[in-house]
Chains A and B, each alone.
Chain A
Amino acid sequence: AQTVTQSQPEMSVQDAETVTLSCTYDTSENNYYLFWYKQPPSRQMILVIRQEAYKQQNATENRFSVNFQKAAKSFSLKISDSQLGDTAMYFCAFMDNFGNEKLTFGTGTRLTIIP
């Protein structure tokens, strides 16, 4: 079974700064998908970014980018120019390629942006 580990339960950063959230995972598969989800206090889970394991290029969405290291099974999220609206719980998630599209979540990192 796949496992996803987020080793930083809480982080805080001043607004406009850059912050990196860590995620490692364990799988024996070669093809899979990785995601970062954001859950603000409003509680809705929002997809931040998606990475396909067979693509070497790191995914980027505006201020959000990932550092995907397949050999190390590492998938960190970098938030540049952080904003108060980035305050949320961030979950790293893994999906295999077997067709059931089941997401396995990490334990989450609570990120607080300080004004």
Chain B
Amino acid sequence: DTEVTQTPKHLVMGMTNKKSLKCEQHMGHRAMYWYKQKAKKPPELMFVYSYEKLSINESVPSRFSPECPNSSLLNLHLHALQPEDSALYLCASTQGNYGYTFGSGTRLTVV
């Protein structure tokens, strides 16, 4: 299995909702990432997990809460989001400096 799987592919949520994004990989990669990507822009790093521990938080607002329950799974919990949080959320994993394997992303719309 050489894939990173993200669910759901599309999500529409209200500003008072709580939802979660899920990311899964079975390649044994030790590092997993959440990126946010706005249209026609490069991905922006949000969080890095290394060996299941949060190693980097790029000053992301607390309405985004990451979780790494095990070495294969990464979640992003969403609460009280704003319309400007609408974006493509990409998950990626890596084992060293060989480059990332990305998932196909979750297209999030906040209404």
Contact = CB atoms under 8 A, between A and B. Distances in A.
A48 to B, nearest CB: 9
A47 B56 contact: no
B41 A100 contact: no
Interface residues on A, range: 20 to 34
Interface residues of B, number: 25
Contacts of A110: 40
Contact of A44 (B31, B41, B50, B105): B105
Contact of A102 (B42, B56, B98): B56
A62 interface: no
Contacts of B97: 33, 95, 97, 101
Contacts of A44: 102-105
Contact of A100 (B42, B50, B92, B101): B50
A39 B60 CA distance: 24
Nearest to A52: B97
Interface in A87-108: 89, 91, 95, 97, 100-103, 105-108
Contacts of A13: none
Interface of A: 33, 35, 37, 42-47, 50, 89, 91, 95, 97, 100-103, 105-108, 110
Given A43-B88, A45-B90, A101 B42 contact: no
B94 interface: yes
Nearest to A6: B42
A37 B41 CA distance: 13
A50 B99 contact: yes
Nearest to A43: B105
A105 B42 contact: yes
